[in-house]
Amino acid sequence: MYKKRRVMVTGSGVISPVGNNKKDFWDALVQGKNGTAILTAFDPSKFTTRIAAEIKDFDFSKHFSSKEIRRMDRFVQLALVAAREALADSGMDLTKTEREKGGVLIGSGIGGLHTFEVQHSTYLEKGPSRISPFLIPMLIVNMASGEVSIELGLKGPNSCVATACASGNNAIGDAFKLIQQDKADVMFAGGSDGCLTPMGFGGFCACKALSKRNDDPKGASRPFDKERDGFVMAEGAGVVVLEEYEHAKKRGANIYCEIIGYGMSADAYHITAPDPNGDGAIRCMEAALSDAEINYNEIDYINAHGTSTVLNDKIETLAIKSVFKDHANKLMVSSTKSVTGHLLGAAGGVEAIACALAIKEGTIPPTINYKYPDPDCDLDYVPNTARKAAIKSALSNALGFGGHNATIILRKI
């Protein structure tokens, strides 16, 4: 049996619909500034949903050369932006870190869909000879991890996770285990997705997953509210620097918090709908608590998956009540997707950062747009206004299409 090494969060980077860096992102969460608006990436007039949470006022040309922009899909560019901020935030000098003990694990739910659509149009209009030689390396899901490792020169564990909306949490959880088991000292981990494209958006419209509040974009993402009608599709990336405790301590790192638990499970029920009894989510949270070696009543805050869909919010609430029993009524639960929209494979990375900042700042970001209580959703969702609170331990849920569930637990040190 290996000796478990302690794993710290020492850096974070975000690009999101409500902020293109960690500070602006956190300020927007605390202030409840919603990022949803009428979609501008393409003409949405023919779609049943016409709203989304897009990245705003961000000039990619200031971060990448024109050649890099042509040869990297949007989700890779987003991951690199977040990873660069995470590195700067950590204050780490990578020349003093053993490169073979530093790695990258960035997940994505969909990967290079933008590239695929553009190149498919090129094929139809101009023939196969005009397909870009960079098509495959641009669209494959592992390329966010690949490009980050190339740029940072990290030669240790390098992988990616593609478990739909659980991708970010799985990536962070897997990276946590690599450090805990002495397979790495430092890991850049999180998630990235940038698939607000006609086909990607149209696909979610077709499966009736998106909110149709086109006349009220700011009020569309309303997790746990009785009048919720679907999620708001979003884009972005969230990357954390995970570091072994002694490694971080030796260099005097600024530590946000410690990751102490990771659980995952499968619903084994349906390709999109959650198990109606919450079985998968229940076992996932229980596995994370067991891994963390803490009791359920030691959790103070849950950053819920909270997508604003009718089934997810009801069943996640049911699962929380099952796991936390009498303590469920004392828990603070919020969904930051009410502010950011649903960042798909990037959600777990971004929400892990929200948890780390909540612990460090002693502030719970609210669930905004909460107006009409639902009897099936009867927990304390920190409605509409941020709340000052001392948080010792926080749990973050991610529940993906295909029945993929991933939970991580973070603790104040």
The mean pLDDT of 375-400, rounded to a whole number, is: 98
Query: What local confidence, expressed as pLDDT, does residue 166 receive?
Result: 98
| Distance from the Cα of residue 8 to its chain's centroid | 18
Q: Report the alpha-carbon distance of residue 35 to residue 32 in Å, rounded.
A: 9
Place of tokens 């649903």: 342
User: Which domains occur in the chain, in start order?
Assistant: 8-250 (3.40.47.10), 261-411 (3.40.47.10)
Q: What does the pLDDT look like over 83-132, one tens digit per residue?
A: 999 999 999 999 888 999 999 999 999 999 999 999 999 999 999 999 99
Distance between first and last Cα of the chain: 25
Which residues are tagged catalytic? 165, 305, 342
What is the reported pLDDT for 2? 66
**Helix, coil or strand: residue 224:** coil
3-state secondary structure 319-386: HHHHHHHHHHHHCEEECCHHHHCECHHHHHHHHHHHHHHHHHHCEECCECCCCCEECCECCECCECCC
Which tens digit of pLDDT belongs to each residue from 142-172?
A: 999 999 999 999 999 999 999 999 999 999 9
pLDDT, one tens digit per residue, over 327-369 is: 999 999 999 999 999 999 999 999 999 999 999 999 999 999 9
Average pLDDT of the residues of the chain: 97
3-class DSSP assignment, residue 38: strand
